[in-house]
Amino acid sequence: MTQALKKEIKKYKVLTGNGAAAYAARLCRPDVVSLYPITPQSEVIEQLENFHANGTLEAEMIRVEGENSAQNAVCAAAMAGARVFTATSSYGLVFMYDAMFQTAGYRAPVVMVNVNREPPGIHAVCSGQQDMIATRDTGWIQLIAESGQEIFDLVIQAYRLAEDEAVQLPVMVNYDGYYLSFLAESIELPEQSEVDRYLAPLKEQPPRPTLVPGSSLGCGAHGLGMGFVELRRKHMAAMARSRQTFEEIDAAFGEEFGRSYGGQIEEYRTEDAEIVLLTSGSAVGTARTVVDAKRAEGVKVGLIKLRMFRPFPIERLSAALQGRKAIGVLDRSLCFGWDCGPIYMEVKALLADIGKVPLLNFIDGLANMDITKPNIERMVNDLQSAAQGEPFNPVAWVTMGE
Amino acid sequence: MKEIRFHGRGGQGAVLAARMLASAAAIEGKCVGSFPMYGFERRGMPVVAFTRFDEAPIREKSQIYHPHCLMVVDPTLMKLDTILNGLRPGGVLILNSPKPLPHRLSPNMGLAGTVDATRIAVQEIGRDIPNTCLMGALAAATGWLKLESVIKGLGEYLEGEMLRKNIRNAERGFQEVEVQKWQ
């Protein structure tokens, strides 16, 4: 009844994840958009071009010859004071790798969507988080969405985060290719005025330094020795501050739009959970249904959703993982050299805080492989067994039958 | 929740049918989720798409393995051994075919709706795009969605002459579907 009533008042539209990203970007009124298509992101570019053609997006559209230019264009425009947007995926993301360091080093508040897809090597036009992982240390903030609505909302939140005076860092909004980029869901569409109101606090901040023709500004200059060290230290401090800022803007989003997501992480049914599974992206949705089914059987299992990968939610995760009898991490990419998944590796680094506990890694969902309910049930079963003191396989490639 | 799996070939509109059907369900106030699964864009290659709709929010993002309904846009795909995999007991098949089924194709099949969607599409649209005709057939055979919702859903994706032709395509699918039932 409440839901039905809400639907009468609110405006809904069936949009794909890509459509949601483009729609939300438009509502944030970017001044400059750089565009280069790549599967499974192309629809974002197409939609933005549609908006521009029909006059609902009044941005300067820069149609570049490749992703490296796409990144350089928005970096430069952001340094000149513009609000900017771009989107990419996989090969495109790695082709802008050097430019991503530059954008972050310049502290240019670029907002970029990255549709997660396997990078080159074994050619796969398929979902996977390896592209995001490969750019982990470029100094960008990296966020991960679970659903179309969250993609929509995160793009809007990303501007508040990137342009916050205390942060001033580029933000990458990630979502799974195919499973989310092409997933059509009913999306609640806010009014332009609501988004304007939510982003308005950015206008009340002191103006950030911008490049103006004819006036001088030190920007992207050599920072040898201590100059470099000092800027890096400030960059890292801004990254650290962004954790708390993200919590605040997520809460503010809830006040404006009636939806908030828990900030850096969301805990689902973890209150009395003896075992927990940690994952991110579209797999979280499927895992919720499995957790509910296992709870109905009396299994004390909870779920933790990682929404912010960089900076890593060290304190929130340590608190959420404390006192469990077994912890599972479901990774959709690999950490070469550590013989496991990257999120697992990072959670392992928390063991000093949370104490020794069976920590199990499940590798699944590479190259569009479906993270199914039976697969997740099996992970929960493994966690139960490990929690009872049984021997366990620390790193299991689920689809390989391990 | 209702789960529908679509089988077609690139270019026939199976992916768009899945999405348009989600829009039709959303128009009726339902929660929806629909996505295709294929690697590269390849015209003529088999593609599969999925649509879920429910009164409650849909959280699973995985593919559909136990559909309540299969929609087969290209009849040649019926030769695949795997096409009926996972069909739930009492399940529905919506098939583009000039003839009704000669017999029940699986013990789980409870209902089949066949319609000569290729012929109708060629007559109404001038091309072999049978998807919207089969959507009309699904609405009639299952009663899960109203024809008006299906037609209204088309309006979110098509316009002008193409919309009018596809509305006619859907209406004819609704009227001309042949339904076979088994206990």
Q: What is the pLDDT of residues B156-178, one digit of tens each?
A: 999 999 999 999 999 999 999 99
Interface check for B159 against chain A (CB to CB < 8 A): the answer is no
The residue range of the domain holding B103 is 2-181
Task: Return the structure tokens found at B75.
Answer: 């009849």
User: Residue B118: its pLDDT value, please?
Assistant: 97
Which residues in chain B touch residue A126, judged by CB atoms under 8 angstroms apart? 39
Q: Which residues of chain A have pLDDT under 70?
A: 1-9
User: Residue A340: its pLDDT value, please?
Assistant: 98
User: Residue A7: its pLDDT value, please?
Assistant: 46
Domain boundaries, chain A: 3-208+221-257, 265-400
Q: What is the pLDDT of residues B100-148, one digit of tens each?
A: 999 999 999 999 999 999 999 999 999 999 999 999 999 999 999 999 9
Q: What is the pLDDT of residues B41-70, one digit of tens each?
A: 778 899 999 999 999 999 999 999 999 999
Residue A101 CA, distance from chain mean position: 18
Question: Rounded to a whole number, what is the distance in Å from the CA of B33 to chain A's nearest CA?
Answer: 5
Q: Which residues between 68 and 127 in chain A have a beta carbon less than 8 angstroms from any beta carbon of chain B?
A: 124-126
User: Residue A9: its pLDDT value, please?
Assistant: 65
User: Residue A127: its pLDDT value, please?
Assistant: 96
Give CATH for domain A3-208+221-257.
Answer: 3.40.50.970
- Comparing CB atoms, the residue among A14, A288, A370 nearest residue B32 is A14
| Structural domains in chain B (count) | 1
User: Residue A188: its pLDDT value, please?
Assistant: 96
Read off the CATH number of the domain in which B169 is found.
3.40.920.10
Give CATH for domain A265-400.
Answer: 3.40.50.920
pTM, full prediction:
0.96
User: Residue B111: its pLDDT value, please?
Assistant: 98
Question: Rounded to a whole number, what is the distance in Å from the CA of A179 to chain B's nearest CA?
Answer: 6
User: Residue A221: its pLDDT value, please?
Assistant: 73
ipTM of this predicted structure: 0.95
User: Residue A30: its pLDDT value, please?
Assistant: 98
